[in-house]
Amino acid sequence: MSEQLSILGGLTAEQFLQEYWQKKPLLVRNALPELIGMFEPEDIQELAQEDHITARLISQNGKNHDQWKVKNAPLEAKDFKKLPEYWTLLVQAVDHYSFDLAELWKKFSFIPQWRRDDVMVSYANKGGSVGQHFDFYDVFLVQGYGHRRWQLGQWCDENTAFIANQPLKLLPDMQPDFDEILAPGDLLYVPPRLSHYGVAQDECLTFSFGFRMPNQAQIIDRLSDHFADQNSAKNPMLDICRQQAQSIGEIEQREFDDLKQKLITAIQSSTGFEEAVMTLISEAKYPDNIPEPEPMDAEELLDYAGQNILLGIEPASRLLYRQLGNELQFWGNGELFVINPASQHLFKQLADGEHLALDLFLQDKKITEDLAEALNQALLLIIEEDD
């Protein structure tokens, strides 16, 4: 029997994925107590002013609350002076700057790593919000500080109308059938396309653990790049005129069907689809957040022996793998990462989110060389065991 997960209120992963995932919301009280007090509001405001941070300061007009204003990063201290009554600060990818926060992704290990987006933090004063809206991705909203009231309403889609002449995609109305206040540690899962509206009840921090799929346009774009590099794909297709034309100016439906089938066959018979997808989903969403590592070689890595050093994935990077015959193929930050066969079991564990003791692998020169290269590419980082 599958394990009951406290973060899902005692549901198993199978129950959640079958009954709730992309179907209906789930509220779990005290689901993630580890997040309580991890950050203070001042921490998020200071982070928003750092270089390379993606952040937005959203405010409502002091006289007309139906008028919204958005200021994008870079933000400065002066931006937080003389703010109107209602405002919200949104800071993206906070998990890239906090190892403790990044570790909480493991609480969601029932969802593949490649689906992760980032952890966005919403800091708002009393009454602050980002309006009634919906998203196209799955999100687990976790309260880390203060309280926020959440209302959930109707389902939306790409044809849903928004309020005109606003800098945000806001819904003109919502029909709430869910109305709850979240306290620190509480979790609310909101599936894609479900309208929602969160209002701070006091000074509060809400952490959004987002998951999303690539869209069809992104995959087609990557496939186009792949086939554009293949000489065979640049040759005209072979004869599709198998019947005498009735009218030489007409393109018949059977010809469209034949062209479509040839394209589908080309995709199915090529490794390009898998490579295009691996390139896309292994890309770092915020490459500027990846730190510049200090170069080291395998010999320098040996200097860390006996220091209780652990290895793990750099929070801003992505490391994924796929089965290819009897071996594993690894991709890191959008590129193929070639390693020795002896290293595959180790890198699989790392990609699966484990932290491994460096001393266990320093006896193997090939593995040490691969580890040094992964550190040089900022795919991995060194962790002090008592951190």
The CATH code of the domain that includes 327 is: 3.40.366.30
Which residues, listed in sequence order, are joined to residue 120 by a DSSP beta bridge?
A: 208
Tell whether 203 and 348 lie within a shared domain.
no
Last residue of a domain, one of 164, 182, 211: 211
Compute the mean pLDDT over every residue in the chain, rounded to the nearest whole number: 93
**CATH number for position 33:** 2.60.120.650
Establish if 56 belongs to a structural domain. yes
Greater model confidence, 192 or 64:
192
What is the spatial distance between Cα 136 and Cα 316, in angstroms, rounded to a whole number?
A: 22
Residue 305 lies in a domain: yes
Per-residue confidence (pLDDT) for residue 372, from 0 to 100: 95
Which residue in this structure is represented by tokens 């002449």? 165
Residue 35 CB neighbour total at 10 angstroms? 24
Say whether both 56 and 191 belong to one domain. yes
Q: Is residue 175 part of a domain?
A: yes
CA distance 203 to 44: 12
* Separation of alpha carbons 367 and 372, rounded Å: 9
Query: What is the pLDDT at residue 322?
Result: 96
Q: Specify whether 182 is located in the same domain as 295.
A: no
Domain contains 134: yes
Average pLDDT on 153-168 reads: 96
> Could you tell me if 72 and 167 lie in one domain?
yes
Go through the chain and tell me how many residues it has: 387
Q: Give the per-residue pLDDT at 138.
A: 98
**What domain range includes position 138?**
4-211
387 pLDDT band, cuts 50/70/90, is very low
Q: Is residue 234 part of a domain?
A: no
Given a cut of 90, whether residue 1 has pLDDT beyond it is no
For a pLDDT cut of 90, what percent of the chain falls above it? Answer: 78
**Do residue 100 and residue 192 come from a single domain?**
yes
Q: Which of 211, 234, 259 is the last residue of a domain?
A: 211
Answer yes or no: do 126 and 26 share one domain.
yes
Judgement on whether residues 12 and 146 belong to the same structural domain of the protein: yes
Q: Are residues 194 and 70 in the same domain?
A: yes
Average pLDDT in the 219-243 region?
78
Domain boundary among 152, 180, 211: 211
The listed range with the strongest mean pLDDT (55-64, 124-133, 255-264, 298-307) is 124-133
Is 153 part of a structural domain of the chain?
Answer: yes
166 pLDDT above the threshold of 60 = yes
Q: Could you tell me if residue 94 is inside a domain? A: yes
- Whether residues 292 and 204 fall in one domain: no
Structural domain total, the chain: 2
Looking at the fold, whether 46 and 134 belong to one and the same domain comes out as yes
Percent pLDDT > 70 in the chain is 97
Question: pLDDT category, 241, cuts 50, 70, 90?
Answer: low
pLDDT score of 233? 77
pLDDT tens across 315-367, in order? 999 999 999 989 999 999 999 999 999 999 999 999 999 999 999 888 899 99
What pLDDT sits at residue 228? 82
Residues 75 and 176 occupy one common structural domain: yes
Do 296 and 187 share a structural domain? no
Gap between the Cα atoms of 26 and 189, Å rounded: 5
Residue 251: inside a domain: no
pLDDT band at 153 (very low <50, low <70, confident <90, very high): very high
